[in-house]
Amino acid sequence: MSADAEFEYDLFVIGAGSGGVRAARMAAAAGARVGIAEDRYLGGTCVNVGCVPKKLYAYASHFHDSFSDAEGFGWQMAGPATFNWATLRDNKTSEIKRLNGIYQRMLEGAGVTLINARATLTGAHTVSLLSSDGKQLQITAKKILLATGGWPWVPDFPGSELAINSNQVFDLQRFPNRFLVLGGGYIAVEFASIFNGLGSETHLIYRGELFLKGFDQEVREFTREEMAKKGVNLHFNTNIERIEPNGTALNVYLTTGEVVEVDAVLAATGRKANTEGLGLEAAGVALDASGKIAVNERYETSVPSVLALGDLTHGPELTPVALAEAMQLVDMHFNEAKPKPLDYATIPTAVFCHPNIGTVGLSEEAAREKYARIRVYRTDFRSMKHTLSGNTERVLMKLIVDDASDIVVGAHMVGEDAGELIQGIAIAVRARLTKHDFDTTVGIHPTGAEEFVTMRTPSRY
């Protein structure tokens, strides 16, 4: 495929995050002339201030329990374990720099032109580029892909400027011995668990009755109990009224009248599409009611030559979703293929709180709305590991089955390595396997995972 003589690029991508980089590389492999602009860091949210550093911190936060668990297996520590925040933070930074380099080499190896500049749409086929040294450049492209992802949103209340967001939390100069998280989504729940595990006195404030809205209700309730057992102070039906400085600390005034003194406040109250300064109005690109970019099944915006994917558009805000959408987009626009639409209903996800959550398919509540009759299989137990460790953590496993077809339409787990385990189960759910298929699969013994193929008796209908 050769470049259209009318344009400098066949595809120009704004944003070098997971989706943008994948689309750029795949389009270049298809023969397109591709450029990509990024003014912050290669790899986007996931690599720099999202899933990668978060998972590294989640690993770190589990060691506290691991040291304690080891004693029941005969391991003796010479003295109490201590945690050094600076070591974790700086090692994380080194790893991210390594990954940034990998992304740059991948783009260069694919023949993609990387431009370190702020990109702004100026028309259906034109982009203005402003580099950090003030140099400006105009380029033209047959197609332009918007892949700038999301950005943390902090609500406005007195003292809200004293709170940090999820981009900033990884690089705190001092470890907060007292930590407060505002929010009830997966980011809030994960960071409450992480800092609790690292040794902070941790509070989670959420205005609703229970966190993780949209997840299976039993999973939410089970997680609440397990997190509380681990020492996270959960405050529901509560919000922050104001924050005031108190020396080097912060006084957080809650709507219940309570005042909590902490060293840091994380506002994990959601993310919004990162469209500010992107030039959408100048190009005539329309937004939907939620403030995201509206696209059709070909990822085309209201301006057909301008495409968008990932967190900018309506759909699950997950890195693997952006990657899958990028490959679909390239197949449609540069490989002249007609891939099947993505099955958003069976996309698995994990929450790396303590214990982890892994889930795929329908919650029990959603299944009851969709099907005339369902069967619910569930079990909760103390894992074999903790018979010797003395740890009271329990595991929840749950299957949701459409009674008429016997198809497993949902699978959920709360427990150690739930994300790792649910990935395999997700294949079965997406393939529409039946409960009979699960029942006739021989389990691996002794593992917790075998419970998914040994639950024989419905818990409820």
**H or E segment to which residue 8 belongs:** none
Q: Which residue has the higher pLDDT, 4 or 247?
A: 247
Would you call the peptide bond into 155 cis, given omega within 30 degrees of 0 as the criterion? no
β-pairing, 259-262 with 249-254? Answer: antiparallel
The contacts of residue 63 (CB under 8 Å, 6+ apart) are: 81, 197
pLDDT for residue 263 is more than 60: yes
Architecture of domain 9-49+88-151+272-343: 3-Layer(bba) Sandwich (3.50)
Domain locations in the chain as residue ranges? 9-49+88-151+272-343, 160-269, 355-453
pLDDT of amino acid 79: 85
Burial class (CB in 10 A: 0-12, 13-18, 19+), 373: exposed
Cβ atoms 57, 92 nearer than 8 A: yes
Residue 124, pLDDT > 80, answer yes
- Residues in the chain, how many? 461
Residue 144 in tokens: 């332009």
What tens digit of pLDDT does each residue of 180-221 get?
Answer: 999 999 999 999 999 999 999 999 999 999 999 999 999 999
**Eight-class DSSP state of 329:** H
> What pLDDT, on a 0 to 100 scale, did the predictor assign at position 3?
52
| pLDDT (tens digit per residue) in 213-229 | 999 999 999 999 999 99
pLDDT band at 80 (very low <50, low <70, confident <90, very high): confident
pLDDT above 70: percentage of residues in the chain: 99
Q: What was the pLDDT predicted at 269? A: 96
The average pLDDT across 350-358 equals 98
Say what the pLDDT of residue 54 is. 98
Average pLDDT over residues 331-336: 95
Find the angle CA(269)-CA(273)-CA(279) to the nearest 5 degrees: 145
Question: Which pLDDT tens digit goes with each residue over 369-393?
Answer: 999 999 999 999 999 999 999 999 9
For tokens 């929450």, the residue is 351
The yes-or-no answer on residue 445 being catalytic is yes
Give, for 115, the enclosing helix (H) or strand (E). Answer: strand 113-115
Mean residue pLDDT across the chain:
96
CATH of 160-269, one of 3.50.50.60, 3.30.390.50, 3.30.70.890, 3.40.50.300: 3.50.50.60
Cα(39)–Cα(424) distance, rounded to whole angstroms?
37
pLDDT at 78: 86
**Any idea what DSSP says for residue 442?**
P
Residue 314, Cβ neighbours under 10 Å: how many?
15
Whether 9-49+88-151+272-343 and 160-269 share one fold: the answer is: yes
Query: Tell me, what DSSP letter sits at residue 242?
Result: E
Residues 322-328, mean pLDDT to the nearest whole number: 98
Instruction: Calculate mean pLDDT across residues 49-72.
Output: 96
Name the DSSP letter for residue 48.
H
Q: Give 320's contacts (C-beta < 8 A, 6+ positions apart).
A: 347
- Cα 187 to Cα 55, 192, 222: the distances in Å are 11, 9, 18
Omega cis (within 30) before 152:
no
Q: How far apart (Å, rounded) are the C-alpha atoms in residues 75 and 422? A: 31
Sign for the pseudo-dihedral over CA of 421, 424, 427, 429: negative
Name the residue with higher pLDDT: 324 or 2: 324
pLDDT surpasses 90 at 176: yes
Partners of 130 in the β-ladder: 118, 136
pLDDT at 1 over 80: no
Mean of pLDDT values over 289-305: 97
Q: What is the mean pLDDT of residues 116-134?
A: 96
> Can you list the positions of beta strands (E) in 194-326?
201-205, 233-235, 240-246, 249-254, 259-262, 264-267, 271-273, 306-308
Count of CB atoms situated within 10 Å of the CB of 186: 21
CATH for 355-453 (3.30.830.10, 3.30.390.30, 1.20.1740.10, 3.40.50.300): 3.30.390.30
- Longest pairwise C-alpha distance within the chain: 73
Which of 203, 235, 333, 445 is the catalytic position?
445
